[in-house]
Chains A and B, each alone.
Chain A
Amino acid sequence: MSDTAAILTQDRQKLEMSALSAPAVVFTVAMIAFPVVYTIWLGFQTFSSTGKQSFAGLANYSKLVSDYEFWHGLWVTIALFVLSLVLQLVFGVWLALVLFHAKRLPGIVRSLFISPFMMPPVVAGMMWLVILDPSLGAANYILQSFGLPPSDWLASPTWVIPTIALIDSWQWTPYVALIVLGGLQSLPPSVYEAAQIDGASAFKTFQRITLPLLLPTIVTAAILRSVDLLRFFDIIYITTQGGPGNASNTLNIYGFRVGFEFFNIGYASALMLTLTAIVFGAVLAFNRLRGAVAW
């Protein structure tokens, strides 16, 4: 009898728990799961110029394979991704080491260091647009006062990708640094003491001990940044809209413009599903890497 009662309370508890998560689940299904299924369906449709919709089979996907802009967008996405990620990881680890050895870090300093990535990326784009202006910007003035040639920055098809990578790295390097700093602070101090007793140099200690122990944290930071970098949108759209020409037309920008400037919803859906597959693939790959470097 007390068993049935216990089972009854257990059942009731399960029911109550489901009721608690139900609003979030229903909301997510309605706003994410269902729309994604709908996008998959839209990917098989074509929309004529009058907005008439008809079934197109795999036409959007075969178009994608032979679309020069798609392959160009993929190349731009990957170039921007690799360049930004390397910059942010290298400078992020450097900044974390500097912060770690500074020991006492007043709250106000921490606040200043987090300010780049807490401001809207759109604002970052606005302010760098002014700083990097080819004729009147402060950046070129600084270059020239060091005797270096001025650059067209965002207006140059050659330099636009490195420039955008630079803006994003300005914004997110402190974020990577704070994650790595968390990893550094959780390392056992005993390993350093052992290395010091053995007379290891500072560089050797870093290379042989700190870096391998830190790798899981660095990979975590890489995963978090990759997810954002592969769907890079805000800074590009506010500064160049994919230009000059199509020099910074990432897959995400291209898909957005196909969908909302040319209103080819079907083809845009196919593009976005492909990009989503790339993002999830990258996360899975990094996750395996994290498993490999775990200790």
Chain B
Amino acid sequence: MNDAANTDRWIRWLNTVQLVIAGVLIMAPTVWMVLSSFKPSFEVTAYPPTLVFSPTLANYAELTRTTPFLSYALNSLIVTVGSTALGLLFGIPAAFAVSWTRITWPAILTLAARMAPGTLFLLPWYVMFRQIGMIGSYTALILSHAVITLPIVIWVLLPSFDGIPRSIFEAAQVDGCSVTRILWRIALPLVASGVAVSAILAFVFSWNYFLFALVLSNGDTKTLIAAAFNFIGEGSTQWGALMAAATLIALPPLVLAALVQRWLVSGLTLGAVKG
């Protein structure tokens, strides 16, 4: 009996050790990025690398002084908020209709964008948007990023709508409610938390998306992610500013993800797994 208890304690200790190792491997690079962003410029490239230093905001000041960081950030915000809003506007009614009618092809159609390589769409978009003079416009960027947000909204909301008992809708129908009215007045308030999760996930993935803005933006509408190249170019000698840029770009998605971490996995797998 005592032996078994010992083995048990030993196994638990071994598991904790593995958990700590995994945690260090996962966190160390990010911690290093954040630390480097606060290092004085001569210490960022010090070799051997230093762990103890007097923190400074000089890299952040440098970043805003030498690059139009804030206007890139504003562009990112416009494109991300716009595409998230568009995704919700189209996605909420579609998810409701798919859940109600069980006709799933509209949902599967939007999923095609999640599977095909982005360049497949980017080539024809580029040709078409150039013909109508929309390259570099916020409209083109928002439309292209909505291709990312729409399937997220639909597939995160589908299980939420499925979870509402049908009898509630049927009762409302007997009372003469139209389908649209049932959606806005009855169903939507019941899936409010699902809407919040889908909006946050859509925001994060639109914010993180790289490829489309690389081609469809111009100097005035460039998003932070697409501008990362500019920072690397300048960062070849200025690692501190580069790491400050990386830290700031990663901050919004990380904060938002922390808010919804509990619902994240089922949302991210687009319904393939219930997390």
Interface of A with B (CB < 8 Å)? 13-14, 16-21, 23-25, 27-29, 31-36, 38-39, 42, 94-95, 98-99, 101-102, 107, 109-116, 118-124, 126-131, 135-136, 138, 141, 170, 174-175, 178-179, 181-183, 186, 202, 217, 220-221, 223-224, 227, 230-231, 233-234, 237-238, 252, 255-256, 259-260, 265, 268-269, 272-273, 275-276, 279-280, 283
Contact = CB atoms under 8 A, between A and B. Distances in A.
B229 interface: yes
A27 B264 contact: no
Contact of B261 (A114, A119, A124, A234): A114
Which 3 pairs of residues, A with B, have the shortest CB-CB distance? A24-B94, A118-B257, A231-B117
A124 B27 CA distance: 12
A186 B250 contact: no
A179 B273 contact: yes
Contacts of B242: 126, 130
Interface in B106-122: 106, 109-110, 112-122
Nearest to B257: A118
Given A118-B257, A130-B243, A36 B121 contact: yes
Interface of B: 11-12, 15-16, 18-19, 22-23, 25-27, 29-30, 32-33, 36, 45, 47-49, 89-91, 93-94, 96-98, 100-101, 103, 106, 109-110, 112-128, 143-144, 146-147, 150, 154, 178-180, 183, 204, 207-208, 210-211, 214-215, 225, 228-229, 231-232, 235, 239, 242-243, 245-246, 249-250, 253-254, 257-258, 261-262, 264-266, 268-269, 272-275
A131 B97 contact: no
A24 B125 contact: no
Given A17-B101, A119-B254, A138-B49, A224 B147 contact: no
Contacts of B253: 118-120
Contacts of A27: 90, 146, 150
B269 A179 contact: yes
Chain A, interface SS category: helix
A138 B26 contact: no
Contacts of A272: 117, 119-120, 123
Given A138-B49, A272-B117, 5 more contacts: A141-B49, A217-B273, A252-B119, A275-B120, A279-B117
7 contacts: A35-B128, A42-B124, A107-B261, A120-B253, A138-B32, A178-B275, A283-B115
Contacts of A221: 273
Contacts of B207: 120
A262 to B, nearest CB: 13
A102 B124 CA distance: 50
B22 A24 contact: no
Which has the most chain B C-beta neighbours within 10 Å: A19, A20, A35, A178? A20
Contacts of B15: 98, 101-102
Given A20-B183, A120-B249, A233-B210, A127 B275 contact: no
A25 B106 contact: yes
A1 to B, nearest CB: 18
A227 B115 contact: yes
A122 B123 contact: no
Given A114-B257, A131-B32, A126 B246 contact: yes
B124 A39 contact: yes
